[in-house]
Chain A
Amino acid sequence: AQSVTQLDSHVSVSEGTPVLLRCNYSSSYSPSLFWYVQHPNKGLQLLLKYTSAATLVKGINGFEAEFKKSETSFHLTKPSAHMSDAAEYFCVVSDGQAAGNKLTFGGGTRVLVKP
């Protein structure tokens, strides 16, 4: 079985300051991990993915995430927030075992960016 916990349901940052979104996972297998972003009235867009290569993963729009197996964490960061980063972010795990790579979603973290 696998699960994902996003530790913060809401994060508020000022424009230009760093963003940290926390995610812990559990998985019976070597997992693949993803971060998706959802802007209002839109579908989920892939930010980045970890698939057992480099533990520091760079994604789109300046985001990156670090896989830490000892801590079972996959936190998402961005050095400088932009107003356009206001959205909901989902941490997602796939154990890759099932056909179609069934995903398990975290509860989401809503990011507010203040001017």
Chain B
Amino acid sequence: DAGVIQSPRHEVTEMGQEVTLRCKPISGHNSLFWYRQTMMRGLELLIYFNNNVPIDDSGMPEDRFSAKMPNASFSTLKIQPSEPRDSAVYFCASTLDRGAYSNQPQHFGDGTRLSIL
């Protein structure tokens, strides 16, 4: 089975440019998560969706970050304008949420390594 697919794997761009990261969750999963990983802060949850609806975006750093999930098989994370401090690895994960206490594990993509110069 195909896992969570993220693109691009690597992105290098200049400060001020718009960056769009893409994620295709595992087919049949109904929850999707965006994380950011840095050496200083470890793994941080940015936002998550349940049935395509954003549930908690309290981890989104600021208004420069936005995320969408137009359908069950696709999500984007956009940074506009980008800044050097946004450099990190961004992960997407998905799971099948059967409700409270369903305790299903999250499945992670291989990440997008973003470098803002």
Contact = CB atoms under 8 A, between A and B. Distances in A.
A, B co-complexed: yes
Interface of A: 32, 34, 36, 41-46, 49, 51, 90, 94, 96-103, 105, 107-108
B108 A98 contact: no
Interface stretch (B12-20, B43-51, B68-76, B78-86): B43-51
Q: Name the interface size band of chain B.
A: 20 to 34
A34 B101 CA distance: 14
Contacts of A100: 31, 33, 48-50, 55, 95, 97
Describe B's contact surface by its main secondary structure.
strand
Given A46-B105, A46-B107, A102-B56, A96 B100 contact: yes
Given A99-B97, A100-B50, A105-B42, A94 B4 contact: no
Contacts of B110: 41-43
A18 to B, nearest CB: 25
A87 B4 CA distance: 20
A103 B48 CA distance: 11
Contacts of B111: 41-43
A102 B55 CA distance: 10
Nearest to A104: B45
Contacts of B4: 43
22 contacts: A32-B103, A34-B105, A36-B108, A41-B110, A41-B113, A42-B110, A42-B111, A43-B4, A43-B93, A43-B109, A46-B106, A96-B101, A97-B101, A98-B55, A98-B56, A99-B50, A100-B31, A100-B33, A100-B97, A101-B104, A102-B56, A108-B42
